Amino acid sequence: MHIIENGNTAAALGVKLCRAKVIAAYPITPQTPLTERLSEYVESGEMKAEYIPVESEHSALAVCIAASSAGARVFTATSANGLLYMHEQVQWASGARLPIVMCVVNRAVGAPWNVWNDQQDSISQRDTGWIQLYCADHQQIIDTVIKAYWLAEKVSIPIMVCYDGYILSHTYMPFDLPDQKKVDEFLPPFKPDYALNPDEPANLNTVTLPDVRLDVQGELAHGYMEIRYLLQEDLRTTLKDAAEAETRFARIFGRSEDPYLEPYRCDDADYVAVGMGSITYQMRVCIDVLRKEGIKIGIMGVRFYRPFPDEAIANALKRKKGIIVVEKALSYGYEGTLASDLKSALYEYLAGTGTLPSVQNFIAGIGGREIHTNDLTQILRAASQGRVSKEPTWIGLKL
């Protein structure tokens, strides 16, 4: 069934369809309409779940961590400083291998205060051991939430479903509302390997030594390093599980996407712009304009950011002349993180093959600065004619 709704509602409907059992949230703009919808579903009885209005984001994720450890499918959502306030819990959730799904409605972080969109919040959580997925429209938001639960529970790793504040969260778009029966077929009830339970006592997340140690039966148990290595190992193989999620999803819902990347007019392109989130759809307009001018340019949206689909990206960008990475966040003191990650993947797979493209980095829309499509077109035109700068170039900067 096609409906017209805003991005936050798309996310809320996805969570409802997935039958999350425990929801905990603390209000922060622009996430609030999402969690308000969920509280409506729960209070009206439309959704059978516990909705916990916690006193902070730190506690929101604490509730999810504990509820998930006790065996429930859980959900939370946040933005900006709320996510930063969760940071300790974010690390805890992945270390404890809990399949939590959290929407991050992307917003700039303080100081100074700014409530508008960029992606510094979720990018700053890149290295926390979570899977990070970025959405470019409402259909992707609702579908990604559903896929995220399946994937998180398959690999026991939490997932952030990220989408741009306002640009997606507060705008209305038509999208297909998946059928509940199909969602139930795609996503069976959550059955964890272990859940807190007095009949089967266990001490979870206890102090773990640097080295391996014998248990009471005389078997060697993991040290901290082994546990952390397995998180990394499982994150790397998650890329394969993501492909399986996509195949399953396509079979049941009849729509499919590349699990990691979203190319547009890339096949014969000499230049490819790369980005994450709504900006990749905005740039399609620029690509169409530049194509008419005879510039062979395409755009590659990155939907799967962690684990990083390095091989898929390197293969997709092989033999291109230049890559233009446009980002709404950066690693302060260096450059955009996507640009850095991309260069690393290209070097690994293409160095010495003579097919290594040049990479340029542009920073845009920081703190909600409007990204004019004309400016983007100009930048892409200039970048496809030669290097603009070694340092990342800030689009629309008024200094």
Partner 1 sequence: MQVKTNILSLPTQEFVHPGTRACTGCGLSIAYRVGLKALGKDTILIVPPSCLTVLQGLFPVASTKLPCLNVTFASTAAAATGVLATLKTQGNDHTIVAAWGGDGGTSDIGLQALSGAAERGDNFIYFCYDNEGYMNTGVQRSGTTPIGAITANTPFKGKQQQKKDVPAIMAAHKLSYVAACSAAYPLDLYDKIKNCMNLPGTKYFHIHIPCPPGWGYDPRYGIKIGRLAVETGYYDLYEIINGEFRLTAASEKLLEKRKLVPVREYFRSQSRFKILSDFQIDEIQKQIDAKWEGYYKKGE
Per-position b or e across 244-261, b if 16+ CB within 10 A of its CB: ebbebbeebbeeebebbb
- Which range, of 46-54, 145-153, 170-178, 181-189, touches partner 1 by CB under 8 A? 46-54
C-alpha to C-alpha distance for 30 and 8, rounded to whole angstroms: 9
CB-wise, 59 or 340, nearer to partner 1?
59
- Find the shortest distance in angstroms from Cβ 61 to partner 1: 8
Q: Tell whether residue 16 is a contact of partner 1 (CB under 8 A).
A: no
User: Of the two residues 62 and 159, which places its CB atom closer to partner 1 in the complex?
Assistant: 62
Query: Does 27 engage in binding with partner 1 (CB under 8 A)?
Result: no
Q: Is residue 221 a contact residue for partner 1 (CB under 8 A)?
A: yes
Find the binder of partner 1 among 40, 43, 70, 389 (CB under 8 A).
70
Binding status of residue 43 toward partner 1 by CB under 8 A: no
User: How far is CA 308 from its chain centroid?
Assistant: 11
Angle subtended by helix axes 7-17 and 32-43, to nearest 10: 40
Fill in the per-residue mask, 195 to 214: x = in contact with partner 1 (CB under 8 A), - = not in contact: xxxx-xxxxxxxxxx---x-
Helix (H) / strand (E) containing 24: strand 22-25
Task: Work out whether 63 is an interface residue with partner 1 (CB under 8 A).
Answer: yes
Q: Which of 27, 58, 156, 270 binds partner 1 (CB under 8 A)?
A: 58
- For residues 264 and 230, is the Cβ–Cβ distance under 8 A? no
Cβ contact 69:203 at 8 Å:
no
Q: Does 267 bind partner 1 (CB under 8 A)?
A: no
* Burial per residue of 178-217, b for 16 or more beta-carbon CB atoms within 10 angstroms, e otherwise: beeeebeebbeebebeeeeeeeeeeeeeeebeeeeeeeee
Give the end-to-end CA distance of the chain in Å, rounded to a whole number: 49
Please say whether the beta carbons of 353 and 377 come within 8 A.
Answer: no
Identify which range of 48-56, 122-130, 164-172, 358-366 contacts partner 1 by CB under 8 A.
48-56
Task: Select the residue interacting with partner 1 from 27, 36, 39, 66 (CB under 8 A).
Answer: 66
| Contact residues for partner 1, defined by CB under 8 A | 21-22, 24, 48-50, 52-56, 58-60, 62-72, 74, 88-89, 92, 195-198, 200-209, 213, 215-216, 221
